[in-house]
Amino acid sequence: DEHTSNGYFQAIFTIIMFLGTIFLFTEIPREYRRGLQDEEEDEVDDEDVSVDEEEEYDEDIAKILHQDPEEATYHILDDQQKSFLSKLKPNQTGVVVCLLIFLIHFNGFAVQETIMTPISTDVVHKYTDTLDYPESFAYILFACSGFLSLLTFLALKKINTWTSDKNFVLISSIMGLVGYFLLLDFSPGIIEPARFVIGFCIISVTFPLGRGVTLSLFSKLIGKHKAGVYM
């Protein structure tokens, strides 16, 4: 019926996802993963070195630490310097900031998905006086959201060389601020439908953009270290 159809619809796609994962997904062998081809497995785990604990380190290493990763001149380092650099602990501030931004994006999107249907289909005007569309309107909104998310991922593949991950994270944060601002009811119970749809579309782009780029930046921060420890 009108209350359970959405659940069945989602269940079907969940089953398709499970089947696709089981029968179509093939994990890339470790030896062929990018960044690991030329690395030898260390038989003994060396303790990480904190920059704060190291009173002095080579000027070349200091220069590398303050360079943009895309422009870092690793080729000037010798084997000992590279070994030291690989043992440095990730930037703790950067890790915390990435996790915080990820939490904001994820929490915002979760809240949006939770409240979007009851708000947009509020025929009894419990929450708004302007949004009283049928439930099919909510289905259309979420279908558009999925389409926009897909377009965002495809676009990221093309434009990720235009600027740094930090700038993309900043852009996603600004977009999120604008999107959620448009969804506010400046007058009690009054949300203009056009503003509602525009805000929803902006958030639908913000989440995949912010999540993907933040995780990319996070992975670069932790480098070879075990991601689970920092998650």
C-alpha 34, offset from chain centre? 21
DSSP string, 4-17: THHHHHHHHHHHHH
CB atoms within 10 A of CB 190: 11
In a domain, 227, yes or no: no
Residues 136 and 208 in one domain: yes
CA–CA separation, 188 and 173 (whole Å) = 26
Separation of first and last alpha carbons in the chain: 41
Q: Which domain-ending residue is among 89, 122, 150?
A: 89
More confident residue, 170 or 87: 170
Residues 100 and 81 in one domain: no
Residues 160 and 191 in one domain: yes
Summarised one tens digit per residue, pLDDT across range 38-79 is 444 444 444 554 444 444 455 555 555 555 555 555 555 556
Q: What is the pTM (predicted TM-score) of this model?
A: 0.60
Q: How confident is the model at residue 102 (pLDDT cuts 50, 70, 90)?
A: confident
Residues 199 and 121 in one domain: yes
In a domain, 147, yes or no: yes
Residue range 12-38: average pLDDT? Answer: 72
Residues 165 and 195 in one domain: yes
Give the 3-state secondary structure of residue 24.
helix
In a domain, 101, yes or no: yes
Residue 77 belongs to domain spanning: 42-89
The answer to whether residues 159 and 141 touch, using CB atoms and an 8 Å cutoff, is: no
Residues 121 and 57 in one domain: no
CA–CA separation, 223 and 231 (whole Å) = 13
Summarised one tens digit per residue, pLDDT across range 173-188 is 899 899 889 988 888 8
Residues 140 and 201 in one domain: yes
In a domain, 176, yes or no: yes
Mean pLDDT, the chain, as a whole number?
A: 75
Note the pLDDT of residue 178. 92
Summarised one tens digit per residue, pLDDT across range 105-148 is 888 888 888 888 888 888 888 888 888 888 888 888 888 888 99
Residues 82 and 108 in one domain: no
Note the pLDDT of residue 154. 83
Task: Please state the domain count of the chain.
Answer: 2
Does the pLDDT value for residue 199 go beyond 70?
Answer: yes
In a domain, 142, yes or no: yes
Q: Which domain-ending residue is among 54, 89, 124?
A: 89
CB atoms within 10 A of CB 126: 9
Residues 134 and 195 in one domain: yes
In a domain, 11, yes or no: no
Contacts of 120 (CB under 8 A, 6+ apart): 131, 133, 137, 138, 141, 196
